[in-house]
Amino acid sequence: MAVLGNMQRALIRGALGLMLLLGAASAAEAPTEFQVKAVFLFNFSRFVEWPPQAFSAADQPFGVCILGDDPFGSRLDDAVRGEQIAQHPLSVRRLHSVGDSRGCQILYIAASEAGQVRQIPAALEHRGVLTVSDINGAAEAGVMIQFTTENNRIRLRINVDAARAAGLIISSKLLRPADIVGSAARD
């Protein structure tokens, strides 16, 4: 039997933990799409390295932000409750404008923002914010990580050029199973 990689083990542990938090759901029910995506968002914080200037203070919260109509409900809050990255407690914020994104390390761009998906990464001015979305074509539009669904499985498309331009380093453990978009895909 093949040994699972660190990322896969972490995602499985996170999914199992999330399922325990959702005790009201029956054990026979599979996690929903957005339960799984919430766990992915939480785990991205462990597989991406942010530049020191991404935090204005040593104890600043690690901001996981949602821009637009929130598809997660309480699922994302449940996934990050009580968690920390280094000395930064994780917090979830809902935003109405990309201008409100100061203090966000991860910015999930909801489907309601599809008409602005090209402008949002540009508006962040390479501030070290990991952008994530499930909007079709988001990775090609400059979003760093795009969720896609194939055969009822969530897959990742990663724009390494956009991440590099923002000063972010994405772990090879996250890159290996992903589809790469940008110049790295041509190398």
Q: What is the pLDDT of residue 28?
A: 54
User: Is the domain defined by 6-21+31-186 classed in CATH 3.40.50?
Assistant: yes
**Burial classification of residue 26, based on how many CB atoms lie within 10 Å of its CB (0-12 exposed, 13-18 middle, 19 or more buried):** exposed
Domain ranges of the chain: 6-21+31-186
What is the tens place of the pLDDT at every residue in 109-148? Answer: 999 999 999 999 999 977 899 999 999 999 999 999 999 9
Q: Give the pLDDT of residue 185.
A: 58
Percent of the chain residues past pLDDT 70, beyond the cut = 83
Residue 7: pLDDT band by 50, 70, 90 thresholds? very low
